[in-house]
Homo-oligomer: A and B are copies of this chain.
């Protein structure tokens, strides 16, 4: 391995000067700098970042916790975070927590001993119980894609999940739907709240039993929940699924039940995934600015790593409703009498 010392010798200077031209921290006379650079090229010198890290305390590496990388949402988030990090010369240490508390804990220890500059935690599904542990982290921590109650102590950029639900509800309401069912994953309380609000604010709140919990966040979970919902209340004219995969299952359940979408039944989804636009019919869905969120979260994190107090500490990005072909006007004939 060729070292800074080797370059110095070759260029006829001291290694301190080499360090100066490499880091650019202190200006070096142009002729000298050129000689040093030539020596670097000739020798193929590559700075040893672990030595630099030991001296400076910074590794230019950040950790990223995500529940999984197997959904379009988190896959996009990871890729965008990586891009943003790359632009700042940082690298990414990935940990997919996958509902495994021990792994998360072990990784946290690993990140600590590796002296990462900061840690970004995306998604609150797995980490809620580890929050106390995080207060002891020796590096800045930031949160993103957080749907549950946000711990005040960490900077965060997230999405207005509740407003997303509200958009979905208002859309259905404006289309004249009165009898609707909700297919929800247990963690999606905000989305459900927002959806309910859309109906409550016109004086027609949804009944408690409008919600049907999916036993798993998958096609089958959606299929089963939709089947139950349709059987329980035949008068239902619209379905709100708190996640796209649930909606795809719901589409099939509708077909099995002899309901045609959107004529006999409207379906609105949440968290746009690739299957959404390409399913039949294409799903109307709440879409979250996940890439933008990842990018802003990284900026926040890097600010914190640089010792700056990020302001504002908590950002909330707005969702959007993309109307496609799975929703239409309520057809009175199908609504059960109140």
Q: Are B94 and A82 in contact (CB under 8 A)?
A: yes
Q: Are A75 and B69 in contact (CB under 8 A)?
A: yes
Given that A86-B103, A103-B86, A275-B275 are contacting pairs, would A109 and B69 also be in contact in the complex, using a CB cutoff of 8 Å? no
Q: Are A46 and B113 in contact (CB under 8 A)?
A: yes
A113 to chain B, nearest CB (A): 4
Determine if A278 is an interface residue (Cβ-Cβ < 8 Å). Answer: yes
Q: Which residue of B lies closest to A98 (CB)?
A: B79
Determine if A59 is an interface residue (Cβ-Cβ < 8 Å). Answer: yes
A257 to chain B, nearest CB (A): 14
Q: Which residue of B lies closest to A82 (CB)?
A: B96
The 0/1 profile, CB within 8 Å of B marked 1, for residues 95-110 of chain A is 1101000010011011
B-contacting 9-mer, from A49-57, A189-197, A224-232? A49-57
A104 to chain B, nearest CB (A): 11
A115, B59: Cα distance in complex, Å: 12
The 0/1 profile, CB within 8 Å of B marked 1, for residues 198-233 of chain A is 000000000000000000001110000000000000
Contact partner of A48 (CB less than 8 A), chosen from B115, B248, B274, is: B115
Determine if A19 is an interface residue (Cβ-Cβ < 8 Å). Answer: no
Q: Are B70 and A114 in contact (CB under 8 A)?
A: no
Determine if A35 is an interface residue (Cβ-Cβ < 8 Å). Answer: no
Contact partner of A68 (CB less than 8 A), chosen from B46, B79, B115, is: B79
In the complex, which residues of chain B have a beta carbon less than 8 angstroms from the beta carbon of A109?
46
Q: Are B70 and A96 in contact (CB under 8 A)?
A: no
A171, B116: Cα distance in complex, Å: 52
Q: Are B94 and A92 in contact (CB under 8 A)?
A: yes
Determine if A174 is an interface residue (Cβ-Cβ < 8 Å). Answer: no
12 further interface pairs, Cβ-Cβ under 8 Å (given A91-B93, A92-B94, A255-B280): A1-B138, A46-B113, A48-B54, A49-B115, A50-B54, A68-B75, A70-B75, A79-B96, A92-B93, A93-B93, A218-B274, A220-B278
What are some 13 contacts across the A-B interface (CB < 8 A)? Answer: A1-B138, A47-B113, A59-B114, A69-B69, A69-B79, A70-B75, A70-B76, A78-B94, A89-B110, A91-B93, A219-B274, A219-B277, A255-B280
